[in-house]
């Protein structure tokens, strides 16, 4: 028997899934992302599997789509429509493959299956019926048995043929989709008219197709890909691959990126290729669909109540999932700023297991009303650090705890006093010399964007500080081999390697020096801008507030921070000591005029052949400017796989988005 708290959780989760399912399938007005909805359904399914007695008769975990709208004439499907089950990892794919083969063996089938892999288009399913080659009916999937008659809308979609190239009877199934650039155009019009914009391309495609006025549908340039034949009057095709070829010959639009796979390894290769190319496609995909290729084997495998056994959707790593905030703790940064961090129930998102996420500051927590115990939507995509983007307040039980910023934090050192920075949402330690803060500063100083000392990481910094080997940045360059050999876990070779790395780091660029000094508000791009403009450390040291503030990308707050840092007595003493050991290399910022001159680039997602730093280096070396955020002044957004919010920002602002290959073409 399920515990009472589990029963209550199931009922709340059931209600939440039903609510969001109706918003998604029936009203085309989702309040959470598709991935967050999938995560809720998956959690509901896990509870039903663990406690079967909780499962209700009309559970959403066994339901196909949604109820047909009363605004449209209802249509009973001649062939029942199903949705595919999902797998979310290679291990789950392997298990599905094994299950297919076990079922076939049980049925006495000796033939081993091959598979047809296709892109999973994120749109709205459409069922098309033709008599003697003429379109007579188009319908939505609905609940799988009854859909909506949308023939009037389908007739104005150019890629849906009104007459086929052969006069046959056929029921064909596919996906109606909308291009990303078309979504941008439509949303601009909606904003001008004071209407709420569409959330995504799937939402827009569904809303455009399910219009009573076909003229509205016609104005939105919908497209289709047809991928299945449910029924045909001519000879049936023996394989899924041949079925796609038949559809193309009849005049349907068929996605060209399908492939025959002999087994799981081929499927995984296809999946990774699709994941890489997704950002360069004009339509949105959220995974790949795998079907047993042989039609005879498909018939042997059959269906469950909800899904075909012969196919599965292999979903891309979720960029958004749901999880629970188990605690909120504070983290001390190198400048003394206190950052609240959510400790989460571990969850797999964006290709990695995540158990922590930044909550930024006190105002962020207050604006979202995040409480300990809340179920939240967690996001991680491409270059996006895991962050909480939404609280599912309907799932609250009343036991959630409101979190408030403390007045004293032990990690700050001293008496632990903290204060809120005037005019900002940030809180800081009053005492600036705590061990934790000092450790963070050293970690930043030796990091890859600053002095980049290979072999000197977080653990080594901690040991050096604890053993009194270092007390300021300059001490790093006085470390001897004897110092290292006196410490645990240092042998001859590792000591020699670290001494070599330290020696190499004694020559540093002006920008890297500025980054390493931990000047508040000065990040990588700002440091480069300042170094490019002033060219020497001496000029930066003597620069006025006005001169600093005049730089693009600096502004009043950063200018004040830089100005004050170089006039602080302790900082002057530190810098003087550091320059005894370190040589600031003269760097020429006079760049040749190229196609990148004067162009501003923003990088998002994971690039296939270049690291983020390599791409930035190429842009700067060819006269371009790298920015960390998208604005109307951005020339290009270079998008890799799993792009983050910068991709959406670029679409909203109409900034040109290019793939990695297009970026390389510009360079060449």
Report, as residue numbers or ranges, the catalytic residues.
Answer: 120
**Under 8 Å between Cβ of 255 and 285:** no
| 266-272, long-range: CB < 8 A, 24+ apart | 266/115, 266/117, 267/93, 267/115, 267/117, 267/314, 268/90, 268/93, 270/117, 271/117, 271/314
Report CA Rg, the chain.
30
In this structure, how many other beta carbons lie within 10 angstroms of the beta carbon of residue 24?
21
At 279, list the tokens.
């950002």
CA end-to-end span of the chain: 67
Q: Which residues make Cβ contacts (< 8 Å) with residue 659, sequence separation at least 6?
A: 279, 280, 638, 639
* CB-count exposure of residue 408 (10 Å: 0-12, 13-18, 19+): exposed
Q: Which residues make Cβ contacts (< 8 Å) with residue 399, sequence separation at least 6?
A: 373
At 376, list the tokens.
């939240």
At 436, list the tokens.
């934790």
Quote the CA–CA distance of 41 and 24 in Å, as a whole number.
Answer: 13
In angstroms, what CA-CA distances link 379 with 16, 384, 387? 19, 8, 5
At 522, list the tokens.
């000065």
Quote the CA–CA distance of 387 and 376 in Å, as a whole number.
Answer: 10
For β-strands 656-658 and 636-639, DSSP reports them as: parallel
At 535, list the tokens.
């060219």
């Amino acid at each position: 028997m399920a515990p009472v708290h589990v029963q209550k959780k199931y009922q709340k989760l059931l209600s939440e899934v039903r609510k969001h399912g109706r918003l998604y399938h029936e009203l085309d007005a989702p309040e959470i992302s598709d991935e967050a909805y999938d995560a809720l359904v998956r959690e509901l399914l896990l509870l039903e599997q663990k406690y079967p007695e909780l499962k209700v008769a009309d559970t959403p975990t066994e339901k196909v789509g949604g109820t047909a709208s009363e605004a449209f004439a209802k249509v009973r499907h001649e062939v029942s429509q199903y949705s595919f089950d999902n797998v979310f990892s290679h291990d789950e794919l392997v298990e599905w493959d094994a299950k297919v083969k076990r079922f076939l063996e049980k049925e006495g089938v000796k033939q081993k299956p091959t598979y047809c892999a296709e892109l999973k288009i994120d749109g709205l399913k459409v069922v098309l019926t033709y008599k003697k080659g003429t379109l007579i009916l188009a319908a939505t999937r609905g609940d799988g048995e009854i859909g909506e008659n949308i023939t009037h809308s389908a007739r104005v979609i150019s890629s849906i043929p009104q007459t086929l190239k052969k006069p046959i009877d056929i029921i064909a199934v596919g996906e109606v989709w909308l291009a990303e650039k078309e979504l941008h155009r439509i949303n601009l019009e909606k904003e001008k008219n004071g209407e709420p914009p569409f959330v995504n391309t799937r939402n827009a495609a569904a809303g455009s197709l399910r219009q009573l006025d076909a003229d509205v549908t016609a104005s939105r340039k919908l497209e289709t890909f047809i991928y299945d034949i449910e029924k045909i009057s001519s000879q049936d095709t023996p394989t899924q691959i041949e079925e796609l070829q038949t559809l193309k010959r009849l005049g349907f639009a068929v996605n060209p990126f399908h492939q025959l796979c002999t087994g799981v390894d081929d499927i995984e290769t296809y999946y990774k290729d699709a994941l890489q190319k997704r950002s360069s496609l004009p339509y949105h995909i959220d995974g790949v669909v795998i079907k047993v290729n042989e039609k005879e084997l498909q018939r042997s495998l059959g269906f469950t109540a909800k899904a075909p056994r012969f196919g599965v959707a292999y979903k891309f790593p979720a960029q958004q999932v749901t999880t629970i905030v188990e605690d909120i703790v504070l983290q001390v940064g190198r400048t003394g700023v206190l950052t609240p961090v959510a400790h989460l129930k571990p969850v797999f998102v964006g290709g990695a297991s995540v158990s922590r996420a930044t909550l930024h500051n006190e105002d962020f927590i207050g604006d979202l009303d995040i409480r300990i115990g809340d179920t939240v939507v967690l996001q991680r995509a491409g270059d996006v650090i895991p962050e909480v983007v939404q609280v599912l307040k309907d799932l609250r039980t009343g036991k959630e705890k409101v979190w408030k910023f403390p007045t004293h934090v032990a990690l700050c050192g001293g008496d632990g006093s903290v204060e809120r920075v005037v005019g900002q949402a940030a809180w800081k330690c009053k005492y600036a010399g705590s061990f934790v803060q000092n450790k963070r500063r050293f970690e930043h100083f030796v990091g890859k964007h600053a002095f980049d000392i290979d072999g000197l990481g977080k653990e080594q910094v901690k040991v050096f500080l604890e053993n009194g080997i270092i007390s300021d940045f300059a001490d790093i360059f006085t470390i001897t081999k004897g110092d290292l050999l006196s410490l645990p876990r240092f042998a001859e070779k590792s000591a020699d390697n670290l001494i070599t790395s330290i020696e190499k780091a004694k020559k540093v660029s002006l920008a890297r020096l500025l980054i390493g000094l931990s000047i508040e508000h000065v990040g990588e791009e700002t440091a480069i801008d300042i170094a490019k403009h002033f060219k020497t450390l001496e000029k930066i040291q003597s620069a006025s507030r006005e001169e600093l503030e005049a730089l693009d990308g600096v502004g009043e707050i950063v200018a004040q921070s830089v100005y004050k840092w170089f006039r602080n007595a302790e900082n002057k003493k530190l810098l003087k000591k550091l320059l005894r050991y370190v040589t600031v290399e003269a760097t020429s910022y006079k760049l040749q005029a190229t196609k990148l001159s004067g162009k501003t680039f923003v990088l998002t997602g994971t690039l296939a052949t270049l690291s983020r730093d390599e791409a930035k280096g190429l842009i700067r070396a060819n006269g371009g400017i790298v920015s960390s955020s998208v604005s109307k002044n951005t020339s290009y957004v270079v998008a890799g796989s799993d792009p983050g919010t910068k991709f959406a920002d670029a679409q909203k602002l109409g900034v040109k988005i290019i793939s990695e290959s297009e970026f390389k073409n510009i360079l060449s």
